[in-house]
Structure 1
Amino acid sequence: VSDIAADQIYSGGLSNTAEHLILKDSSGNIIDEVDCSSGWFISLNRGESMERMNPAGDGSDSSNWAKNNGVERNGLDANGTPINGTPKAQNSVFIGSGGGDTGVVTSSITLTLSTKIFYPMGDVLGKPSTVQILWNVPTGTVLNLKVFNLKGSSVRILVKNKDINTSQDGSSGVLWDGKDNSGNTLPPGIYIVYLEVLNTDTGKRDVVKKCIVIGRKL
């Protein structure tokens, strides 16, 4: 990374297939650990970064990792090209601890999901087959709402460049049926609902993310 100074330089090399990483303090106490001894959790292309979703979560839990979403990036490579990573900045797939709550608030922006898990195939009696995604954002903003998989790929664009001109627009939402942009039902797994709000006056951009699980009857 050409434009961001490193806090520490690691002189060794990392395997392209698997590693078991342990971070210790000066007294030898383990601070953090990522056990990928059976293989890296995420398959990456050259120039992509594997990012931790919840810093407080288990570093050796494969479901707590995803690749950079390609939208939020920080830093340039030796050729001055933006890297697909976020050194010294919040990870692009950051979701926080969540505390089990389906609502997330960032400044004056609220993102709420009607359920934590839903079953688009409708194969589980009494369980929801859709999820209602609600937002509360200020007027004078532009809203985008997408869904990403854990590989960092955008799988569904739910709202694109929506102008929020009235309070009614600012307190609204959409219903997601668990399908991708091609109309295919997505496979079971964890997905990230990604809300981006741009203030047209100040240029400030706020992002709120929340996990949702697509389930299927075993």
Structure 2
Amino acid sequence: MKKIALLLLLIIGLAFSSETTGFQVTFVVDSLVICVPVSGNENEFVEITDFPRELSLNATIRVEMSHEDQGLQSIQNTIYELTLVRNDGVVSQHVTFQSPVQIRLPFYGDSIDQVVLKYLDETESPAVWKKDGLSVVSINTDEDYLIASVMHFTKFSIFQYQDYQAPLIEWVKLNQQMCSNGGFLTEQPHFSVAINDQSQNDSGIVAYRVSLKNDDQSFEENVSGNLANISNTEVGLTINSVLQAGNYNLQVAVEDDAGNVTSINWQLVKTQAVHVSSLLVGPNPVNINKSNIHFTYDLSQNVDVSIKVFNVAGKKVKELNLSSGVVGASTGANHISWDGVDDQGNKLSTGIYFVYLVADNGQEKDVSKFILMVVK
């Protein structure tokens, strides 16, 4: 009968009891490589790397008696329970075996870097997963692996848990509008930040810090804290002081308990002058029969806004007017949409159009321009 070997490459969390009577190991499958014999030769294997990731492997090791001598730990009467469980809880494989074993543990500081479990077959070398990638190497010395008498044709590589997936900063909003680098500040802005940590391999604790300070660092306000088991969680920073004109630096940093960090460092501006920036009109070209026309832009303050659209003959075909402080006429990022119907009630014809956006606070104005192509 042909033997089939399954090689499981695992990243796990190791939790050792403070007592010498036992320890427990929990496995989480990060990647699986299935090796099967080919051409009837048990020494030749084909690797299949696209194995379903929705499977997880749980294991418990109970130690009834143990002692340690210069890194060599002898464990007697050890019961190994290995259960392969799907996400829906259905048990697809269950293996139990018992044998006196000897474990040679390579120590690096206070942590265990790797332990390899191999069934007793001196013709095979144990397989080890390297931390710098999912590559398999052979260890030929008996000082780096565990030897066990196991009536099961499976090898396991066991590693100290490490999480490499950093938490995400999904978005940053200023006064409920999307914010971006180079945007404008209100006098008393409120920032909200969406944080997401999708890693399943750590405790889910994420530390965060949100701060706003000016260039000479004479002003700074911040908020920080810890979040547990987060998923699309929002944190906020409200500036209670009235901001003076100048350049400001917004910093957001989030860090999980494995030390993975995600951060942003944006330059924002508070100005007394009327200013329009980042005008975009799209889609461009736009098919009027299939899509509305969208205008996005940044304003330095609450102002009256007018958007005028001219055809190539210089005739104004549409004018949109917005009062100061309403949606589309507020400090920071703005977005409005238009259905492409002109002032006569007709859809725009195919052609080139010129868009003029005018921001006016009653004392000064600023104008931004854009060229739009319409197709049908």
TM-score when scaled to structure 2? 0.25
- Quick check: which one's strand share is greater? 2
| Higher CA-based Rg | 2
